[in-house]
Structure 1
Amino acid sequence: MGILYSIAGLFFFLALGIKYLKWDFLIAGYNTMGKEQKKNVNIQGLRRAMGNFLLIMALFMIISAITSHYGYRGLSSISLLAILPLAVLFVFHSQKYDHSKKTTSKTIEKRFILGIVIFVLGIVSILFIYAMKDPQIEMNQKDLTIGGMYSNYVKKENIKEITLQEEIPKIMGKVGGFDLGYILRGSFTLENKEEVNLSIYENKPPYIVIITKSGKIIVNYRQREETLKVYQELKDWVKD
């Protein structure tokens, strides 16, 4: 959720810069035009349109973060993915501010499409890559490290119990973390009001539940066999 708020803040900042401070160097296509070509562009309208578009993207990011926090993960994902078609629509809308010759207009359109779509896809791809990675569990003599987007470090002496469960309480909301559909990473609250750290694929049991002196960590993998394998490794490690 913090990542989404940060990106939304960046979009908001850029929107103000373009719309009110005339940061035209950020407008793909326009920033590479010659002086004569720029005379054929309604830059006032283009600034306003670009600024408004970035504000709308920031709003969708915030909506995604808020709905995710309250457990509406499907709506959160839709809000995030809706940005891409909005970007394409903006590209075509922005062409009305360009009064250049048709050939030049097509060039600007391609640059707009390429710049905006690559930017949005880049952000979404980074989130997907981090989220889709299975948690990396490392064990040594004294501690346990669960790597990933939201890593955990636990001393062996602080682990009270490790169990394998087919079901866990319903997940009600997010305290701080990331979720995309059934992929949950970070701190969440359960229906029993308990706050736990999750690194799971929801509805893909079983789940490894690690109870420590300071809280509870729940982990699983896409493949059931992998979860069972790691669980046995953890049980053997705790006994040593």
Structure 2
Amino acid sequence: MVCKKYKKGMIYVFTGMSLLFIAIGFLVTENNAKYLLSGYNTMNENERKKVNLKTYIPYFKKFHITLGISFFVLGYLINLFNKNVAGMFLAIYPVLAYVYFVITSSKYSGGLNTKANKVGLIILIGTFIFVTGLVAYGYKENKILFDAHQIEFTGSYGGILPTQQIKNIEVKKDLPKITLKTNGFALGEIRKGYFKTKSGETVKLILNSSQKPYLLFTTSDNRKIYYSAKEQLNEELLQEIKKAIPNIPYKLNHE
């Protein structure tokens, strides 16, 4: 139920962003460009004279309509086959598209050697590197390391749980109904960080995949951590933890 809802949520995001891109294409005209067109609105009069709005605006419109349509169609198709790849596409495709736009549209605004185009291109390339790095880090698997004294969740939003602070470990068939991400990373099937449930409870999710059943770690102060591995079966991982830390209460029935 949760995965289906999230799949629909991705479609809503693709639809909303696609409509936004298309709307931007129709919003900017020659008459309002000096107010709405980023970069152009900060130019002085001499710099604006170098920009051929009569050819630039139609290209601007065509680009955004094409971006909106292609973003939805490709995003929808990718999401049908792999939600994780769809998540990466969602974050990276628009940035790459705008890099292409700045390069190809520069012929209408003085070429790539102008200050505005150089700054825009540098910002977009920097954004692409940052977003790609962020996505790659978020998709890296958070593993569980454990011994008789503690359980450690590696990576982003990880942490260490001393065994004396663990109330119990359970196997859960489903997640609680998630209504809000309060502080975390969520793309495709990957969710890491703090999320609020329908009941108002804040839980930590470290989900490297949609693999079920999930492992639920509850601490002595009732903090809850839901975990799902990527490369190893969750139930197999639980058996290894149970052998290493036999004194923790375990609930192995799938609820």
- Provide runs of 4+ in structure 1 moved above 6 Å: 43-46, 73-77, 111-114
Matched, 1:122 2:129: yes
Identity among equivalent pairs (%): 22
Please say if 1:220 is aligned against 2:241: no
Per mean C-alpha deviation after superposition, the further-off stretch among 81-90 and 151-160 is 81-90
Give the TM-score normalised by the residue count of structure 2: 0.55
The CA distance in 1 between the partners of 2:49 and 2:226, in whole Å, is: 53
Code of the residue aligned with 1:216 in structure 2: it is: K
**Residue 162 of structure 1: CA displacement?**
0.5
Counterpart selection for 1:88 from 100, 112, 117: 100
Q: How many residues align?
A: 174
Contact 1:162 1:235 in 2 (8 A): no
Over 3 Å counting, the alpha-carbon distance change for 1:228 and 1:152 in structure 2 is same
Per-residue CA deviations over 1:144-192 (Å, capped at 9, x if unaligned) read 2101111122111010101112211122111111111221011111222
Aligned counterparts of 2:151 and 2:91: Cα–Cα separation in 1:
36
Q: Which residue of 1 aligns with 2:212?
A: 205
Unaligned runs of 5+ in 1: 1-15, 21-40, 47-72, 100-104
TM-score of the pair, normalised by structure 1? 0.58
Q: Which residue type is aligned with residue 105 of structure 2?
A: H
Give the Å deviation of 1:236. Answer: 2.2
Correspondence for 1:97 among 109, 115, 120 = 109
Change (3 A) 1:228 1:207: same
- What RMSD, in angstroms, separates the aligned Cα atoms of the two structures? 4.0
Query: Which residue of structure 1 lines up, in the alignment, with residue 169 of structure 2?
Result: 162
* Gap runs ≥5 in structure 2: 1-37, 52-83, 248-255
Q: Does the residue aligned with 1:192 lie in a helix, a strand or coil?
A: coil
Q: 2:187 aligns with which of 180, 185, 191?
A: 180
Aligned to 2:71: none
